[in-house]
Structure 1
Amino acid sequence: MACHPPSVEPARLFSDPTAAPIPLQQAARYLGRPDPVEALTRLRAGNVRFASGTSHPGDALNGGVGLQPYAVVVGCIDARVPVEAVFGQGFGAICVARSAGHVLDRAVMGSVEFAVTDLQVSLVVVLGHDDCRAVAAADEAVRTGRRPAGARQFLIDQIAPAMPTAGSADHSLDKATRSHIHRTVATLRQAHYLKEALTARRIDVVGGIYRLESGHVEML
């Protein structure tokens, strides 16, 4: 299937000053990149393949040089969560920004901004996971009142607001993890550089939690 209208040469989409403006979402489709709904559908399908064991190493070669990424995933550094594999994506399909507990700092925020504004990805995914040690450390800090030394303090300070109050009856690390994912999604949605694209529905920002035992990503 052609990725651009027969009457319009690909180069004219962006380089011809006399050509009529083309909406970014439409231009992304011409370049073979999906809209936010299709992007999420692709990631879900890839995760189903991964969780069912039908993905294989050769899948990593899908796309190759020249493939335009269509999503950026903000994930945790945990080695048990290989993001591209979890979503069954080959080289070049997604951008990945990782930090402990998917904490947002200037570098991660700048990376997301670059993916959205320069690479024109159509989906931002915040991917947390169960048994997250960064979330557990923040939970312990809240419960005991003791903060770790060094740069880890920044991580704890960023995650701690999502923790339930000490002694809460419905306390669980799973609920804390979900809360932290929701807060991260909300922070990204409020970023000034995403507002225009969100309003135009050119992109979406969603959250998910990866289940280590099953390999499934549960979208929140």
Structure 2
Amino acid sequence: MTATRDAKIVSPAEALTKLITGNKRFVYGNPRYGHDVTQAAATAGGQQPHSLVLGCIDSRVPLEAIFDQSFGSICVARSGGHVLDRSLVGSVGFAVAKLRVSLILVVGHKRCGAVHATVDALLAGTASEGEVGYLVDQLAPAVREVGLDDPDAAEKAVRAHVFRTVDRLRKVDSLAQPIEAGTLKVEGAVYDLDSGWVEFLL
């Protein structure tokens, strides 16, 4: 089966199943796909991705690998702490409108450096400058939602931020119609750095 044919997913449920079963193959050490140039060549003429996966820039979270997906199967968008900005929202809209993805999955991960930096900044009462400050400002509402007095504030804020990002994407005007029609779903997940498992927050 070529990568292009394998990527033909119709419904959001099928797309989600692909990611869940791919994560199981990854964790159990039975990946189906790798970085094989023949798979790259098979999709060179076009793409039919089933999902867009939005994650963090953390080098320990290679999204194609943890979901064991082949070339042409998923679009990947990344930023520090999967913080949304205009470019990322536009990329999501493009993937839905032009590439017809049926699933947007927001993936946070344990021990996220951006979230921990936000907790530290809020506890210290200091403002981060420049571009890092933008990330801190965007992540701060999730941290405050959990509460700085919680000893597990950073880890709980990771989940809270995933839910907040999912909620924000569900309210994007251009996504409303396909979500209402049932041809698109926006879901969240958290990746465990130690075990490799992805917890789907459905």
TM over 0.5: yes
SS at match of 1:104: coil
- Residue type of the alignment partner of 1:166: L
- Given that residues 127 and 209 in structure 1 are in contact (C-alpha distance below 8 angstroms), is that contact kept between their aligned partners in structure 2? yes
2:31 to 55, 64, 72: 55
Shift, 1:219, TM fit? 0.5
**1:101-128 alpha-carbon deviations (Å, 9 max, x no partner):** 0000011101000000111100000001
Matched, 1:147 2:127: yes
Matches for 1:95-174 after TM superposition, within 5 Å: 95-163=75-143, 164-168=146-150, 171-174=152-155
Q: Do 1:76 and 1:127's aligned partners in 2 also have CA atoms closer than 8 Å?
A: yes
User: Offset of 1:33 from its aligned partner?
Assistant: 2.3
Equivalent residue runs for 1:22-37 within 5 Å? 32-37=8-13
Given that 1:55 and 1:88 are in contact with CA atoms closer than 8 Å, whether structure 2 keeps it comes out as yes
Deviations 1:21-74 (A, max 9, x none): xxxxxxxxxx93230001000100000000111116647538931341010011
Structure 1 or 2: more helix by fraction: 2
Structure showing greater Rg: 1
Structure 1: gaps of 5 or more residues:
1-30
- Does residue 87 (structure 1) correspond to residue 67 (structure 2)? The answer is yes
Q: Which SS does the other structure have where 2:99 is aligned?
A: coil
- Paired residue total: 189
Equivalent residue in structure 2 for 1:64, among 42, 61, 69: 42
Structure 2 unaligned regions, length at least 5: 1-6
The residue that corresponds to 2:168 in the other structure is 187
Q: Could you tell me whether the CA contact under 8 Å between 2:33 and 2:68 is conserved in 1? A: no
Code of the residue aligned with 1:167 in structure 2: it is D
TM-score scaled by length of structure 2: 0.88
Instruction: Please give the secondary structure, in 1, of the residue aligned with 2:42.
Output: coil
2:177 aligned to which of 196, 203, 208:
196
Residue 42 (structure 1) aligned with residue 12 (structure 2): no
- Name the Cα RMSD after superposition: 1.8
Tell me the CA shift for residue 143 of structure 1. Answer: 1.5
In percent, how many aligned pairs have the same letter?
46
Instruction: Return the structure number with greater relative CO, CA threshold 8 A, min gap 6.
Output: 2
Q: Which residue of structure 2 lines up, in the alignment, with residue 214 of structure 1?
A: 195
Residues in 2 aligned to 1:133 and 1:212: alpha-carbon distance in whole angstroms? 12
